[in-house]
Amino acid sequence: MALPDAFIAKYQDLLKEQSGPFFAALRGPVDKGFRLNPLKANQVPVDLSLGQPVPWSKNGYFGQVDGKGIDHTTGLVYSQEPSAQFVAEVVDAQPGEKVLDLAAAPGGKSTQLAGQMQGSGLLWTNEIFFSRAKILSENIERFGVSNAIVSSSDSKDLAKALPAFFDRVLLDTPCSGEGMFRKDPDAISYWSEDYPKECAERSEGILSNAVQMVKPGGTLVYSTCTFAPEEDEQTIAWLLKNYPEFSLVDIDKVPGSGIQDARPDWADGNPDLKKAARLWPQDLPGEGHFVAKLVKAADAEPVKTIKTQKGDRISAEEETLLQNFLKETVPGLDVDFSRLVRFGDRVFMIPSDCPAFQKIKILRAGLCLGTFKKKRFEPDHALALAIQPDQAAQVFAIDDAAAFQAYIHGEALNTKADLQKGFVLMTAGGNGVGWAKFVNGQLKNFYPKGLRH
């Protein structure tokens, strides 16, 4: 790895005698990791070992995920670099809360927050770039998240629509990516001596919007995957100076993990900055991260009333179709018809107390149940990934690797199983993987064409 001369000089000056181990670590091997999904029925992976837990991550393990394997395809695991898993642990989202992940793609931290929330409350996950927001939405779907809104909006527009609304806000800010040099050497090509300062200025702009969405008494977590003090301690020092209603909370550094205090001497000397955390590759098996946790004063401002999203009325004929589908296919699923919204012919059940969408671009609005077709209702792939197998009326377990590969390739499966005509939840490794329709001894494949491989 050829590091820029200016980068080397900068961290020789900042780290002094620690710079040698730091540069040696950057030239060393990358540590791979993954997280188990607590939303899934079966928590035992088919392809992966749980022998090496990540010390700072409740559901995290070291290991490399097969992107075409059963564990990944069913959403049981999310491939995520070990240090990155610490950020959502600091957020510590609770069931029933309203939580925002403001710059969320590709979805590692959002899916981790969803697991913490256990399907209860509202997870609003946003990505300004639409192409990346689509990837975020796909990962939310694969993880079986039923209570998430996925949007593609500028933080300024979200702040205008959702002032003082969220119990917890995470901003994993776009940064210079120094902490990812070892994992992604291409990041080096974007780096210049002035780049961290440019990124810090951008982060200040996003933060000025993020703080507006934290409700009084709420929590703001700011994180980066860079070592740069300009983007880390100095940005938090700027935040504390400009928004005195916020104060730093001491982060549990997990004794023995190698997680370090942040460096007040790299900013304005405020000793409270030590409450933030730094993860260095020379100190632990992971890449570089910075995390700060702040709380907003309970008396900072009066709580504002936010309009909720109204459900869409469906015709009597459509309601009958949907009721019959639910009874025949997913009798164990509790559907609140007052929370149904439509995007064309697709029907979503939005989270409780969901704020009005207004002019915000929405990609996913809670759980997509399915699509109205002519004289029938067809289940969505998201539904197969979100329900527990015991909620489905009919289940077919794909027991061997060849049958699994045939199914995700889009092939029909022949079976002598005792099934009734209609939709069947296909499972692999004990978790839902998709739908099939049983007709005359054959399972007609409904695995989405865009996911087949």
Q: What is the DSSP string of 138-198?
A: HHHHHTT-SSEEEE---HHHHHHHSTT-EEEEEEE-----GGGTTT-THHHHH--TTHHHH
Residue set of the binding site for S-adenosyl-L-methionine: 103-109, 127, 154, 172
Q: In the 8-state DSSP scheme, what is residue 350?
A: P
Per-residue confidence (pLDDT) for residue 453, from 0 to 100: 85
CATH number at residue 104: 3.40.50.150
Tokens at 227, concatenated: 């070592």
According to the model, what pLDDT value does residue 300 have?
A: 82
Q: Does a structural domain hold residue 305?
A: no
- Residue 427 located in a structural domain: no
* Binned average pLDDT, 10 residues per bin, the chain of 453 residues: 92 97 94 97 96 98 96 98 98 98 98 98 98 98 98 98 97 95 89 96 98 97 98 98 98 97 98 98 97 95 85 89 97 95 95 94 98 95 98 95 95 95 97 97 96 91
DSSP output for 362-431: EEEESEEEEEEETTEEEE-HHHHHHS-GGGSS-EEE--SHHHHHHHHTT--EE------SEEEEEEETTE
What does each C-alpha distance from 411 to 5, 112, 406, 441, 447 come to in angstroms?
54, 33, 5, 14, 9
Q: Exposure of 253 by Cβ count < 10 A (0-12 exposed, 13-18 middle, 19+ buried)?
A: middle
For residue 139, is it within any domain?
yes
* Domain span at 56: 5-296
Do 67 and 85 contact (CB within 8 A), yes or no?
Answer: no
SS3 of residue 438 by DSSP: strand
- Cα torsion through 9, 15, 21, 27, rounded to 10: -40
Does 341 fall in a domain?
no
Residue 243 lies in a domain: yes
For residue 413, being part of any structural domain is answered with: no
The tokens of 186 are what? 């291409």
pLDDT computed for residue 186 by the predictor: 86
> What is the residue whose two structure tokens read 């709380």?
295
Q: How far apart are CA 137 and CA 148, in angstroms?
A: 9
C-alpha–C-alpha distance, residues 276 and 248, integer Å: 8
What amino acid positions are annotated as catalytic residues? 225
DSSP-assigned letter for residue 94: -
Among 213, 225, 223, smallest CA distance to 276 is for 223
Cα–Cα distance measured from residue 74 to residue 429, given in angstroms and rounded to the nearest whole number: 8
Phi first, then psi: give them for residue 235, nearest 5 degrees. -70, -40
pLDDT at site 269? 98
Cα dihedral 213, 216, 218, 224, rounded to 10, equals 50
Burial class (CB within 10 angstroms; exposed 0-12, middle 13-18, buried 19+) of 42: middle
Domain for residue 321, yes or no? no
- Does 51 fall in a domain? yes
Q: How many domains does the chain have?
A: 1
